[in-house]
Structure 1
Amino acid sequence: MDRERARASSERAGLRVLAASQPARLKVASVLVASSSSSWSYTTAAAGYGRFQCTLVNGDGTFSADPNQCADAALIPTGTNDPTSPYQGDQPPPTGAQCVQDLNGRYYCGIAGAACASDANCDNGVCSGGVCTGTYNAQCGADDSLCLGYLYCTDPFGDPASGVCGGIGNYCQDYTEGSDTNSDAVNEALWNQNCASGYCSFNQGVCATHVTTIGGSCADDPEFAFFKRNACPASHTACRIEGQRGFECIDTSSNIEQCGACATEGGVDCTGLPGVEAVGCVAGVCEIWSCQDGYTWDSATASCKA
């Protein structure tokens, strides 16, 4: 794809300097595209590297294609719609894109395998041999434009990395995909899809190998991988402190404000339940002991009703 990327190295490197203490700069990005329908679909159901989903979720939980979602008018730019930007998310949407299934079973517009007549029919990447190319591990040298969707070929500074799309050491935290209003866990799930390894190093912002064995090195991502695993006793969970970079050890089986899970991961604040006067958290479930004046216990819904 013929793109002018003269600003790529200097702009991306410049943003890194502004956030030198936080290599994963996009975790605190101030420019977000919250109104993008594509970003919303990713936030609710991260599943692949494509920018534009065309998936229909059937009643039985299976997926099917909805080509209408790939209509030119339906594809809202995920970023600035600027072909000179160093970010994949800022590139213009494809035109005349075909809805095809990815390896995870969901459908996207103009990803690998989609029929094409020109590069414009592909979600980034290139049209080669009548199909869009540039999926995981595709050869790209040091040219991001050869990679599809949110996949990159270079490191956070725009310099050569693995030489393949979504390879180890490649940038993986596109600002148009993550959000500073998401929990770290949600952003991590989004960015992981941009790596062939299935893991985007949270602090460094590059594709890495996820350590899952006891005694393995977490040098590539010590704060997110190592700290959370070892900071708390087995009976407690390392829960993120809202608005701060850090965690606190919580027993989610009995904590009245983070019952059942960390607050950022769906835990319930039992004290906030309507009409409760006395309440506790027992075995990870809110247990109401009495209701406020004007409320009565409703056994059918296990709640206080006005």
Structure 2
Amino acid sequence: MLPSALAQECQPGGYSETGQEPCTSCTAGAYQDQAGSTFCMGADAGYYVPSDAATAETICPAGSYSSDTGSTECTTCPAGSSCPSEGETAPQSCAPGQFQDQTGATSCNDCAAGSFSDVSGATSCCTCCSGFYQDQTGQTSCTICPAEGSFAQGYSDPGATDVDQCTAQAGAVATCDQDTSTGTCPTTTADPATPTGGTRKRAPVRPRASSCARGQSSCPVYKNGAVARYECINTSMNLEQCGGCVTSGGGLDGVRSLDGGRDCSAIPQVDEVSCFKGECHIKTCRDGYEVSADGERCQVSKTPASRKRSQSQRRRAV
């Protein structure tokens, strides 16, 4: 009696219960790189297998990702995010101050000067409002124009990129805050039908906090020490109502009020300051002063050269 032929092992790309013929090809999304196997392996997250009988998985190229095992294709990175490397398992949302308006991107772009973004995953940036400017790229807010003449706030055309573009005239808006819950950009210009005179245009008055939009607080506006009206403020980004409503007897001199509000611009000896996520961030102090270790105030500089420079300037001013 002749001996039966030896059974053949399944080749890579296929399998069977015994690992021998007859064999079944691995389906798309799975592979097998060994001979004589009893199973196929699903593609790992960050990889894919596009066809049957595969002997290897393929890594997703930069600009795409796969979040599940057993993928047959990679997903293109959506606008508002980036997939910077091969084998990404999820898109990375663009950070505040950045945007991406294209799909399949490997990086996000900084917002240009004259614009900003205060949300993650932005597909575009907001234009700085009239009465504000931004001279740097990749920023989350705009800087208010300094007071000019009899005006409480200087004016600038929307999208201003330098403080020199601020002038003494009416038309500036009071706040330039982005709605962080929806990503909606602020209105860049004041209502031309509303006379502004020598004061800035303020947000609509709403007497109760519950009537303000989500993310805003109903803060009092004082006149001669008494509450004159209320306005809806996004205290997470407002320079003069940062972290909460500034109340009479507190916060007006740069000290936190009982509500936690602080007028960042009123901090003694401050030079450049911003409000971000309800906290005053002091960038620079006036000559002769430096930012304290806790970042809360400007203190007399410990650097002799700085003090001498300040004293020299005072002598020249006399």
Q: Which band: TM-score by shorter chain?
A: under 0.3
| TM-score, normalised via structure 1 length | 0.27
Q: Which has the higher contact order (CA 8 A, sep 6+)?
A: 1
Which protein shows a greater Rg? 2
- Judging by fraction of residues, say which structure has more helix: 1
- Judging by fraction of residues, say which structure has more strand: 2
